[in-house]
Structure 1
């Protein structure tokens, strides 16, 4: 996964990595991951409701808390996140450029693809990538998510760093909850159980 992420954001100021090993085959884990919705994440849903409240009060993104839509699809609604790389069954990488620290995140003109994300360099923004990867691991699978963020200039990096102190615990909770929800959704007699020792 590092090679794919390094293509889009090789230098970053902030990073989180979370993973879980499951006793289920990769294709089952991938399907489960892509079926996770906000309905599977009660506490993270509350955090997202608080974070998106200013946007929703201004009539922007009323669908941000749609509990019936898979998270991967919810992220891509309204051109907020763009697909940077995707290999179905193995990896999905999404990217976004915004002033995340604003109550209502301000974004430049929508990015259309990975090339637009790479080319973007206007000051005053932060670039973020989120990846999910399923890796064969013995008779089961390893499901890993990584987040990277980098400001486009020194001022943006300072502003995002202050914001990151506030949101990092919530980001970690959301990522871990999504991984656990994917594990619960796995089918089969050994499905979503984490492998002992993880």
Structure 2
């Protein structure tokens, strides 16, 4: 998994998975076609986080505000290094579309967060998973991120469950058609 290569060690992690009654091609396509309209909780939380300035619309693959670092067969990793604990969360001055720059960042003061979505075959269906990992570049940023993580972990978990549920619903509907 690319997530293992980009962020093999981490301080924080959450992982969710769901079995989908659709083959991997159909499940992956459903994930790629997912729209923000199918994720109302994500849209609401992003509006709150963005102080009302963030309005997500259209395909998640284009609307989601975190840059895609890698995409491969049945797998995508999005990530950014930022100071998430700040209200406007400044990003590190690296190319956020460069997976190697993300992987190699070691400058103190940052939290590197990555989310991987993966589909793996499972009998006549597939397993869809979403995993988030965060690595802080020093003790001070880790302490600051810990407080932030405690505050957002529940909402982040609900977003992941919503993403998995909406993708499964779309994939299973397509598989039946």
TM-score, length basis structure 2 = 0.91
Residue aligned with 2:55, SS: coil
Unpaired segments of 5 or more residues in structure 2? none
**TM alignment of 1:75-154, pairs within 5 A:** 75=64, 80-83=66-69, 85-88=70-73, 90-111=74-95, 112-154=97-139
- Structure 2 distance, partners of 1:101, 1:37, is 28
Match of 2:60 among 52, 71, 94: 71
Report the alpha carbon displacement of residue 48 of structure 1 after superposing the two structures with TM.
Answer: 1.5
- Structure 1 distance, partners of 2:10, 2:160, is 19
Q: Partner residue of 1:33?
A: 31
Tell me if the contact between 1:38 and 1:65 (Cα under 8 Å) persists in the aligned partners.
no
- Structure 2 distance, partners of 1:28, 1:130, is 21
Tell me if the contact between 2:13 and 2:132 (Cα under 8 Å) persists in the aligned partners.
yes
Task: Single out whichever of 111-120 and 99-108 deviates more from structure 2.
Answer: 111-120
Deviations for 1:37-66, whole angstroms, at most 9, x for unmatched residues? 221012232112111117x2xxxxxxx423
- Structure 2 distance, partners of 1:15, 1:188, is 32
Matched, 1:188 2:172: no
Unpaired segments of 5 or more residues in structure 1? 57-63, 192-198
TM superposition outliers: structure 1 runs of 4+ over 3 Å: none
- Structure 2 distance, partners of 1:5, 1:162, is 24
Q: Partner residue of 1:195?
A: none
Q: Partner residue of 2:164?
A: 179
Deviations for 1:95-131, whole angstroms, at most 9, x for unmatched residues? 2100011110111224241111122111111001110
* Root-mean-square deviation over aligned CA pairs: 1.6
Q: Partner residue of 1:59?
A: none
